Amino acid sequence: MGKIHNFSAGPSILPKEVFLEASQAIVDFNGSGLSLLEMSHRSKPFVAVMDEAQSLVREIYGLGDDYEVMFLQGGASLGFLISAYNMMRGNKRGAYVNTGSWAGKAVKEGAWVGEGVEVASSKDSNFNYIPKGYEVPSDFDYFHYTSNNTIFGTQYHQIPDVNVPLVCDMSSDIFCRPIDASKFDLIYAGAQKNMGPAGTTLYIAKKEVLGKSSMSIPTMLNLNTHAEKDSMFNTPPVFAVYVSMLVLRWIKKTGLEAIGNTNQSKANALYSEIERNSMFSGTAAAEDRSLMNACFVLNDGLDDALNAEFLNMATEAGISGIKGHRSVGGFRASMYNALPLESVQALVDVMKAFETKFA
């Protein structure tokens, strides 16, 4: 098998060194004679893994002890409900921006708990832009947004400026560049896009917002339960947390600034080719394009044979995972942190060859 350029939208590419180290831990964890998979989550070696993963998150985002970091389960899909339960206050109303499928699901879960109100939406244009210029009245208990829209290829390039507590689903762009994380009251992110394998969900919560909900919250959905027990109220997903910890070490070593610059270079290379190439068009508004997921279609998008031909040429060049999501069609190239610039260049080369052949 030749080199595979992995553009999968998730679960997605992770650094190669992480796979090697993680495979070793399955056989013999740190010379203990035991696999990581067969030791107690309360054992010293695993408690050290959990501690390190939590401190790395604080360190990378420059957060202090006023933030609680938790590694839980249920995916961001449970995060929609958990965030609503934990952030509802006396008004029992959450403000949401609907920027696509995941954001829409968040609104729906908010409505299980209280009122989930859409204060803005880009549905009118198949979610190809980020809404701007709306107001968030102060009688909302929180404001929830999706920083990167994995399916539609749009991303917030600025943190929204609102006067109510800020909640964000960062599943597909967490740690993609430096941000001022101290602006957030609650961040959650499924690990499997940009931080680790499937199986754990990161929660970063300002300590002062925990335990303030107006709802009576079932035990496992209450973030306070997990904060008080250091993510060990029940058995944590030990392997997913361990692999995430290895990725976090890699992020710290590489540096968030450098990661952000590389992500910008990758996005520039691909978007400038999409613009230059006479065969393709991007689907997202230029100012809101995602650094992580680039969506593009053939100008002759209805020609199924031509679509198949491009996928064939890409596959032959070792490119994997670029078939677009069914709600947008065409192609989606996901360029998460661990994807090298060289893989984007390989895709650009195929786009050029395709133009030469068919234009």
Ligand X SMILES: *Cc1c(COP(=O)(O)O)cnc(C)c1O
Tracing tokens 């939208």 back to the chain, one arrives at: 9
String marking each residue 191-210 x if it binds ligand X according to CB under 6 A: --x-----------------
The tokens describing 79, both together, are 């995060």
For the bound state, the minimum distance from the C-beta of residue 190 to ligand X, rounded and expressed in Å, comes to: 3
Judged by CB under 6 A, the stretch of 130-138, 164-172, 282-290, 323-331 that binds ligand X is 164-172
Is 320 a binding residue for ligand X by CB under 6 A? The answer is no
Contact set for ligand X, span 110-149 (CB under 6 A): 146
Active-site hit among 102, 141, 206, 250 = 102
Judged by CB under 6 A, the stretch of 73-81, 110-118, 132-140, 259-267 that binds ligand X is 73-81
For the bound state, the minimum distance from the C-beta of residue 128 to ligand X, rounded and expressed in Å, comes to: 16
Bond before 11 cis per omega within 30 degrees:
yes
For the bound state, the minimum distance from the C-beta of residue 302 to ligand X, rounded and expressed in Å, comes to: 28
What is the Cα–Cα distance from 347 to 288, expressed in whole angstroms?
22
DSSP string, 204-239: EEEGGGTT--SS---GGG-HHHHHHTTT-SS---HH
Is 156 a binding residue for ligand X by CB under 6 A? The answer is no
What one-letter code names the amino acid at 292? M
For the bound state, the minimum distance from the C-beta of residue 242 to ligand X, rounded and expressed in Å, comes to: 18
Which residue among 154, 171, 222, 290 contacts ligand X (CB under 6 A)?
171
Is 102 a binding residue for ligand X by CB under 6 A? The answer is yes
Is 76 a binding residue for ligand X by CB under 6 A? The answer is yes
- Nearest-Å Rg of the Cα atoms of the chain is 21
Judged by CB under 6 A, the stretch of 75-83, 212-220, 308-316, 326-334 that binds ligand X is 75-83
Which residue among 12, 150, 231, 263 contacts ligand X (CB under 6 A)?
150
What is the Cα–Cα distance from 123 to 131, expressed in whole angstroms?
10
User: Can 169 be counted among the known catalytic residues?
Assistant: yes
Instruction: Report CA torsion sign: 223, 227, 228, 231.
Output: positive
Q: Which stretches of 59-185 are assigned E, i.e. beta strand?
A: 67-72, 93-98, 115-121, 142-146, 148-149, 154-155, 166-169
Q: Which stretches of the chain are assigned E, i.e. beta strand?
A: 5-6, 67-72, 93-98, 115-121, 142-146, 148-149, 154-155, 166-169, 186-190, 201-206, 280-282, 293-298, 319-320, 331-334
Question: Nearest to ligand X by Cβ — which residue?
Answer: 75
Instruction: Report CA torsion sign: 185, 183, 294, 124.
Output: positive
Torsion (CA) 213, 215, 216, 221 in degrees, nearest 10: -70
Active-site hit among 141, 185, 193, 288 = 193
Which residue among 6, 83, 154, 172 contacts ligand X (CB under 6 A)?
172
Is 10 a binding residue for ligand X by CB under 6 A? The answer is yes
User: Can 141 be counted among the known catalytic residues?
Assistant: no
Contact set for ligand X, span 262-301 (CB under 6 A): none
Judged by CB under 6 A, the stretch of 69-77, 84-92, 225-233, 320-328 that binds ligand X is 69-77
User: Can 250 be counted among the known catalytic residues?
Assistant: no
Residues that bind ligand X (CB under 6 A): 10, 75-77, 102, 146, 150, 169, 171-172, 190, 193
Active site residues: 102, 169, 193
